[in-house]
């Protein structure tokens, strides 16, 4: 029989943490492509591919300029409370026809809508975007920012309706690998970390009822609050590689215990 002291010791022992790779390093099993102007599952221009153990987002097989063909690689499952770790780097030159703001620009979309609810010509899934930006070699440029396609967030008690908010990160120039993490606590809070250090926190992720598509999603869900959703990697016209995409499922009580 366990003594009271032993029981206390057992209950106070945290459960083992187990990271689950969402990318197996070999192929895109478990992921589905959605590119603007194409049906779900159509990997136009071989945009998303696996080479040398990484997910490559590339445009060398396009039949012309980028032309606004924003794409997303969406994981099959939805998640609520978790930590996500992604290693990324920007490489090469931007695709011809890519917009100036998309230079060394990509990201990961969280609490996203399923592919089934996206329209054929939809540019971005309604979601919370952790925006990855690479430096141009000269200017300061924060990364692990937050952008909100069809959504809003709360910072310091104030509803934020602007599209993007910068983190307090340093600038990462060149083609170096960067390790980004996000702790997602359902509909309560999200925290961005770079190289293990927090750089941005916000709360109450929610659908923006000023956006017609987001409003229809809210009506179907019965609430504007976002407590779970899909995870997707972005294609925005600059080649990028993802070496690690892994997830640690958390319980609600474990969220925030860093």
> What does residue 212 show for φ and ψ, rounded to 5 degrees?
-60, -45
> Average pLDDT in the 6-33 region?
75
Which CATH number is 25-249 given?
2.60.120.560
| C-alpha count within 13 angstroms, C-beta hemisphere, residue 35 | 20
pLDDT score at 174: 94
Please give the residue that has the higher pLDDT: either 16 or 110.
110
* b/e 35-70 (16+ beta carbons within 10 angstroms → b): bbebeeeebbbebbebeeebbbbbbeebeeebeebb
Q: Look up the pTM and report it.
A: 0.92
pLDDT at 10: 39
Strands, E assignment, 6-46: 20-21, 31-35
Would you say 229 and 78 are in contact if contact means Cβ atoms under 8 Å apart? yes
CA dist 150 and 69 (Å) reads 19
Query: Residue 73: which region, alpha, beta or left (left: phi > 0; alpha: psi -120 to 50)?
Result: beta
- Which pLDDT score, from 0 to 100, does residue 5 have? 41
Over the stretch 220-245, which tens digit does the pLDDT of each residue have?
999 999 999 999 999 999 999 999 99
User: Residues 153-165: pLDDT tens digits?
Assistant: 999 999 999 999 9
For a pLDDT cut of 70, what percent of the chain falls above it?
93
How crowded is residue 172: how many other Cβ atoms within 10 Å of its Cβ? 23
pLDDT tens for 64-88 read 999 999 999 999 999 999 999 999 9
Per-residue pLDDT at 258? 59
């Amino acid at each position: 029989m366990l003594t009271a002291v032993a029981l206390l010791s057992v209950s106070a022992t945290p459960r083992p943490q187990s990271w689950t790779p969402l990318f197996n390093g070999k192929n895109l099993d478990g992921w589905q492509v959605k590119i603007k102007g194409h049906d779900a599952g159509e990997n136009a221009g071989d945009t998303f591919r696996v080479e040398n153990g990484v997910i490559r987002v590339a445009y060398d097989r396009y039949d012309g300029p980028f032309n606004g063909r924003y794409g997303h690689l969406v994981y099959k499952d939805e998640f609520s409370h978790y930590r996500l770790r992604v290693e990324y780097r920007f490489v090469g030159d931007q695709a011809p026809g890519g917009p100036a703001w998309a230079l060394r620009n990509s990201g990961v979309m969280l609490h996203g809508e399923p592919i089934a609810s996206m329209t054929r010509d939809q540019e971005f899934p309604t979601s919370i975007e952790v925006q990855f930006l690479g430096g141009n070699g000269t200017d300061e440029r924060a990364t692990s920012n937050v952008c909100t396609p069809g959504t809003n967030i709360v910072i310091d008690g104030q509803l934020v309706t602007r599209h993007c908010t910068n983190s307090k990160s340093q600038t990462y120039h060149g083609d170096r690998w960067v390790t980004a993490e996000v702790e997602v606590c359902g509909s309560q809070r999200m925290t961005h970390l770079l190289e293990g250090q927090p750089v941005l926190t916000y709360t109450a992720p929610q659908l923006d009822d000023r956006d017609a598509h987001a409003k229809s999603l809210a009506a179907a869900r019965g609430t504007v609050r976002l407590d779970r959703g899909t995870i997707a990697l972005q294609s925005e016209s600059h080649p990028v590689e993802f070496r690690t995409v892994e997830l640690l499922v958390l319980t609600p009580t474990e969220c925030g215990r860093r």
